[in-house]
Amino acid sequence: MQHRHLNSSTMTLAAIDDIISRGQRQDWVELRQNVPGDIAVAAKVVQVCKTHLPDPYAQRYHFWMHYVRQHST
């Protein structure tokens, strides 16, 4: 899936938000593989998720926040 604001191989905040909110399984696998090995990507995921955490129905963002906390280095 081609994500908005994903112009290069770097993951921008907007690209991460798009992957979390509208990504398919393969997109999530790609993001999942980047989180443990890249502190910058993990920090961006946290930054994106924090804005959505007050909403108890934003389950995707709650999932990713938990994933980063469990798997970031």
Is residue 3 in a domain? no
Q: Residue 41's domain spans which residues?
A: 13-71
In this prediction, residue 11 has a pLDDT band, given cuts at 50, 70 and 90, of confident
Contacts of 19 (CB under 8 A, 6+ apart): 3, 11, 27, 28, 30, 31
Residue 1 lies in a domain: no
What's the average model confidence in pLDDT over 6-14?
A: 72
What pLDDT digit, counting tens, does each position of 43-72 carry?
A: 999 999 999 999 999 999 999 999 999 997
Residue 56, in any domain of the structure: yes
Q: Among the listed ranges 8-12, 26-30, 56-60, which one has the minimum average pLDDT value? A: 8-12
Q: What's the total number of domains in the chain?
A: 1
Whole-model pTM: value is 0.85
31 vs 73, higher pLDDT: 31
Is the residue at 60 inside a domain? yes
2 CB-near residues (< 8 Å, 6+ apart): none
Task: Classify residue 2: in a domain, yes or no.
Answer: no
